[in-house]
């Protein structure tokens, strides 16, 4: 095959790869530049491409390193806005993967978990840690008799990821808890899942003489240095039985 023909083929392949990188919102930080992070606003659809790119860059930075309720500003050619990062959340732990629970920052989320294990009670004052090891930092101490919701147990390890009042606290060693009274015979346990780190946010957008403000959440894909993607709305809670009966 002629060298000139080989060069032409290589150039064509390179063009295809570059085109895919420009249009697919993934595969590195630059892949988020075409995503409309103002999609939650009625004004979002009117943003020009350069304004979208500016917002995307600032949104990634805000979600990755912005403090709680910090005000991260951005300004494009036709629009400007403010991004206010909020609390950290975990998704993909409930039966509906888009259900999100509040969590503390800095937990080890690298392990697959057996999920939906139900209610337990601490048998003594129990150290809650940021990761599944006695070498990990103690985040807090739960008093004996505290009820905890075991949202996950690390596969093959004696460590449980626990929540109290729908807020994920960290990891407890399974020797520190027993099934809650009255739940010992319940069948529990759901599919194995890997938790997804998410974060709430508030945005304010000014464009074309109008101002809009809204709230949402974004979830991190691709590990610690991945891309924050807009999360879908949380599923509505199913009504209780007495609500269905009109009581």
Q: What is the pLDDT of residues 156-166, one digit of tens each?
A: 999 999 999 99
What is the 3 state secondary structure string of the chain?
Answer: CCHHHHHHHHHHHHHHHHHHHHHCCCCCHHHHCCCCCCCCCCCHHHCCHHHHHHHHHHHHHHHHHCCCCCCEEEECCCEEEEEEEEEEEEECCCCCCCCCEEECCCCCCCCCEEEEEEEEEECCCEEEECCCCCCCCEEEEECCCCEEEEEEEECCCCEEEEEECCEEEEEEEHHHEEECCCCCCCCCCCCEECCEEEEEEEEEEEECCEEEEEEEEEEEECCCCCEEEECCCCCCCCCCHHHHCCC
SS3 100: coil
The tens digit of pLDDT for each residue in 180-223 reads: 998 877 767 789 999 999 999 999 999 999 999 999 999 999 87
Residue 178 has pLDDT above 90, yes or no: yes
Indicate if the pLDDT at residue 9 is higher than 70: no
Confidence (pLDDT) at 129: 98
- What is the SS3 assignment for 102? strand
Walk me through the domains of the chain, giving residue ranges and CATH numbers: 3-88+196-230 (no CATH), 93-193 (2.30.30.170)
Read off the pLDDT of residues 11-70 as tens digits, 9 standing for 90 and up: 333 333 233 332 223 333 456 778 999 999 999 999 999 999 999 999 999 999 999 889
Q: Look at residue 6 and tell me whether its pLDDT is greater than 60.
A: no
How far is the C-alpha of 86 from the C-alpha of 69, rounded, in Å? 5
Q: Which residues on adjacent β-strands are paired with residue 81?
A: 74, 205
pLDDT in tens, 69-98: 899 999 999 999 999 999 999 999 999 999
Report whether pLDDT(4) > 70. no
pLDDT of residue 182: 87
pLDDT at 243 over 90: no
Whether the Cβ atoms of residue 192 and residue 70 lie closer than 8 Å to each other: no
pLDDT at 246: 56
For residue 5, what pLDDT is reported? 40
């Amino acid at each position: 095959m002629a060298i000139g023909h080989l060069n032409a083929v290589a150039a064509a392949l390179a063009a295809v790869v570059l085109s895919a990188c420009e249009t697919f919102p993934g595969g590195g930080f630059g892949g988020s530049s075409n995503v409309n992070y103002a999609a939650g606003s009625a004004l979002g659809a009117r943003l020009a491409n350069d304004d979208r790119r500016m917002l995307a860059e600032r949104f990634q930075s805000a979600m990755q390193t912005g403090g709680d309720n910090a005000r991260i500003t951005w300004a494009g050619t036709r629009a400007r806005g403010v991004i206010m990062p909020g609390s950290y959340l975990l998704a993909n732990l409930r039966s509906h993967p888009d259900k999100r629970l509040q969590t503390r920052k800095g937990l080890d989320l690298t392990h697959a978990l057996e999920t939906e294990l139900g209610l337990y009670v601490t048998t003594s004052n129990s150290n809650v840690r940021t990761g599944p090891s006695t070498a990990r930092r103690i985040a807090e101490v739960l008093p004996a008799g505290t009820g905890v919701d075991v949202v996950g147990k690390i596969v093959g390890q004696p460590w449980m990821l626990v929540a109290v009042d729908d807020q994920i606290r960290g990891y407890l060693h399974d020797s520190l808890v027993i099934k809650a009274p009255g739940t010992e015979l319940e069948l529990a346990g759901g599919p194995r899942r890997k938790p997804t780190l998410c974060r709430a946010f508030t945005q304010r957008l000014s464009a074309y003489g109008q101002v809009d403000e809204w709230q949402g959440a974004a979830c991190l894909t691709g590990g610690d240095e991945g891309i924050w993607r807009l999360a879908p709305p949380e599923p509505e809670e199913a009504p209780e039985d007495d609500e269905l009966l009109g009581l």
